[in-house]
Amino acid sequence: MQRVNKGRLREFYEEEARRLSHQEVMYLKGNKHELWWHRKRLHYIFSFLSEIFENNRVTTFVDIGCAEGFYIKYVSSVCSGVFCVGADIARAYVKKAKVSGKKLNTEYIVCDIENLPFQDNSIDIVLCSEVLEHVHNYRGALTETCRIGKKYLVISFPGHSLLYSAINKMEFVRNFVDKLKLDVGHVSEVTVEDVKELLKGECDSLKVKIGGALPLQLFKIIPSVGLVEVIDNSFCKALERFGAVNHATIHVIKIVK
Ligand SMILES: C[S@@+](CC[C@H](N)C(=O)[O-])C[C@H]1O[C@@H](n2cnc3c(N)ncnc32)[C@H](O)[C@@H]1O
């Protein structure tokens, strides 16, 4: 994992927001294999969210690390009575989200996941997708996320393939990559066990969905995305059976407090 100070991390996201629309690239553009991978996570998140929305009276929804507001725009367009707040550390992302998603009942704020400006147990659904791995103190960030949630949290974070984990253990390779300073990327390695352990006393139930059992680079040699999906589902079942879900590259968890 890279060791980068918070100021530089923040600057990285500010610069990223000025340069591109991250969510548009992840979910709508890119090559078919990358789209498949990102959309698999998206599908899990949406299925958890629809399950919650269908069975509960929801009035407040917060998306932490909202980037350009993809989820906020979706929820506010299909659930008109829900007050939606998108929160992000990067001012430039918040500005972008505000411009493209001006709607009644929607607000965007600049804040750090480690210090969220909401009261305890005040938000019906809190979404935190692909953010924890970008925070050094991800345990504190998760505790803070849980603090503001009234009942439901949906979180997602990536895992690492066996190959990546092996490379990361080699100090000299890691130091070399750090020196290049090419990309800030991920600074923490979040695991399903960690999440379970941290929220042990806080939650009633926890449901995990996984995907991306093999590295995306390997999937890219299979031309048909339909076949990739079939293979991935079988490998994910194997990871679940052998208690090795951390080796999946997609983890989406629904937490009921
Ligand atoms: C990989 S993007 C994920 C975007 C979105 N949640 C999704 O899943 O499509 C990470 C986002 O988290 C934001 N972020 C990073 N560190 C953060 C922090 N400490 N507090 C709040 N947001 C943060 C970044 O600015 C960026 O928008």
* Residues 213-222 as b or e (16 or more Cβ within 10 Å = b): bbeeeebeeb
Query: Ligand 1 mean position to 64 CA, how many Å?
Result: 7
Asked if residue 183 has pLDDT above 60, the reply is no
- Is the CB of 93 within 6 Å of ligand 1? yes
Candidates 65, 60, 103; CA nearest to 87 is: 65
* pLDDT tens readout for residues 127-148: 999 999 999 999 999 999 999 9
- Ligand 1: which residue has its CA nearest to atom 11? 65
- Is the CB of 154 within 6 Å of ligand 1? no
Count of beta carbons in the 10 Å neighbourhood of residue 126: 29
Q: What is the mean pLDDT of residues 51-63?
A: 97
- Given pLDDT bands bounded at 50, 70 and 90, which one contains residue 64? very high
pLDDT at site 163: 63
**d(C-alpha 146, C-alpha 138), whole Å:** 12
Query: Ligand 1 mean position to 152 CA, how many Å?
Result: 19
pTM: 0.92
Residue type, 151: K
- Given pLDDT bands bounded at 50, 70 and 90, which one contains residue 177? low
- Given pLDDT bands bounded at 50, 70 and 90, which one contains residue 95? very high
Please state the φ and ψ torsions of residue 233, each to the nearest 5 degrees: -60, -40
- Given pLDDT bands bounded at 50, 70 and 90, which one contains residue 173? low
Strand partners, 112: 115
Query: Worst-scoring range by mean pLDDT, 67-76, 146-155, 161-170, 214-223?
Result: 161-170
pLDDT at site 106: 94
pLDDT at site 187: 85
Q: In the 8-state DSSP scheme, what is residue 115?
A: B
Sheet holding 123-129, edge to edge: 106-110, 83-88, 60-64, 123-129, 149-157, 250-256, 205-211
pLDDT at site 68: 94
- What percent of the chain shows pLDDT beyond 70? 90
Asked if residue 160 has pLDDT above 60, the reply is yes
- Given pLDDT bands bounded at 50, 70 and 90, which one contains residue 182? very low
Could you tell me the domains of the chain?
6-256 (3.40.50.150)
- Is the CB of 129 within 6 Å of ligand 1? yes
Q: What is the mean pLDDT of residues 26-51?
A: 94
